[in-house]
Amino acid sequence: MAELTAMTSTTRPPAACLIGWPAAHSRSPLIHHYWLRTLGIEGGYVIEAVPPDEFGDFVFRLSLRGFVGANVTIPHKERALALSKPDARARAVGAANTLWFADGELRSTNTDVEGFINNLDACAPGWDKAEDALVLGAGGAARAVLFGLIERGIKRIHLANRTAARARALADQFGASVLPAQWDAVDALLPRAGLLVNTTSLGMHGQPALELDAARLPQNAVVNDLVYVPLQTPLLAAAGARGLQTADGLGMLLHQAVRGFELWFGKRPQVTSELRALVEADLKKA
């Protein structure tokens, strides 16, 4: 396992990478280069397109390749978990998206949890006063959302998914505060949802719309859509038109990048309006 040990190079500045297949369209380089530049840190962040059959070897030699850590994206997140020492968040989510070295070991975490929570804290302080949350979707993103909501002490988390069995499976895994619901029960649950989170791909560019009547939400509800293409989803537009507090998917994307940068380069960066504008402009080009 010698190759897994981080090497300290005296000649090359630290560099991290994003490992994916495909990985070309990621905004992560834009985000990390912005922080490296504005914090005056000499370092690098590159994209590494690695096919599934080469992922294990790539990670085994991560340090020898000169990397202090990595982000991991589709389809490697579950393998990344298995090949590293995961923290509680990565284990609960069942996937790792950030790798780094500590005490000679390859560690992993899932930063979607703090991306979700820190974005809500930034956009809608006090959101966690909600006693009932309604989470739509039971895929990978929903797992991170559930972990975060439970950690913050939300009493009842209604979890509705098109495929009901997946919602039931997550409720079994995450415990009594997660209450599985049928997809056609969403309408009836809206009036008690102090927090509504869309973790489905509905509303995403090229996907069907999320059919939901935001007028049925309580007056003090907070609405969070994880979809960020488009930035302003129909759900967020409807919630905004009602004067509800909202948090968008781009905010989560930016906040989830903070921890990796801190682990690799030693300084905790800020999610600034300048960074947001930079990534927004890039998303509009796509």
Contacting ligand NAP (CB under 6 A), which of 6, 36, 113, 138? 138
Among 65, 79, 162, 168, binds ligand NAP (CB under 6 A): 162
Side by side, the strands of the sheet bearing 105-109 are: 44-49, 15-20, 67-72, 98-102, 105-109, 85-86
Size of the site for ligand NAP (CB under 6 A): 25
Under rule CB under 6 A, residue 208 binds ligand NAP: yes
Nearer to ligand NAP, 47 or 138 (CB): 138
Name which position in 84, 199, 245, 246 contacts ligand NAP (CB under 6 A): 199
Q: What is the DSSP string of the chain?
A: -GGGSPP--SSS--EEEEEESS-TT-SHHHHHHHHHHHHT---EEEEEE--HHHHHHHHHTTTTTTEEEEEE-TT-HHHHHHTSEE-HHHHHHT---EEEEETTEEEEE-THHHHHHHHHHHHSTTGGG-SEEEEE--SHHHHHHHHHHHHTT-SEEEEE-SSHHHHHHHHHHH-TTEEEE-GGGHHHHGGG-SEEEE-SSTTSTTS------GGGS-TT-EEEE---SSSS-HHHHHHHHTT-EEE-HHHHHHHHHHHHHHHHHSS-----HHHHHHHHHHHHH-
Q: How far is the CB of 231 from ligand NAP (least distance, A)?
A: 11
Please state the closest distance from residue 285 (CB atom) to ligand NAP, in A.
18
Residues 93-122 that bind ligand NAP (CB under 6 A): 112, 115
Nearer to ligand NAP, 16 or 113 (CB): 113
- Minimum CB distance to ligand NAP, residue 95 (Å): 9
List 28, 63, 73, 161, residue binding ligand NAP (CB under 6 A)? 161
Q: Binding string, 220-259, against ligand NAP, x = CB under 6 A?
A: ------xxx--------------------x--xx--x---
Residue with Cβ nearer ligand NAP (157 or 226): 226
Cα end-to-end span (Å), the chain: 41
CB of 218 to ligand NAP, least distance (A): 23
15 binds ligand NAP (CB under 6 A): no
For residue 77, indicate whether it is catalytic: yes
At residue 116's C-alpha, the angle toward residues 73 and 200, to 5°, is: 70
Residue 63 CB, shortest distance to ligand NAP, in Å, is 27
Q: State which residue, 86 or 249, has the beta carbon closest to ligand NAP.
A: 249
125 binds ligand NAP (CB under 6 A): no
State in angstroms the smallest separation of the CB of 74 from ligand NAP.
Answer: 8
Among 59, 181, 189, 204, binds ligand NAP (CB under 6 A): 204
Read off the tokens for 163. 């495929």
By beta carbon distance, the residue nearest ligand NAP is 139
In whole angstroms, give the CA distance from residue 226 to residue 242: 19
Residue pair 239/99 in contact by the 8 Å Cβ criterion: no
Q: Which residues bind ligand NAP (CB under 6 A)?
A: 112, 115, 137-142, 161-163, 166, 199-202, 204, 208, 226-228, 249, 252-253, 256
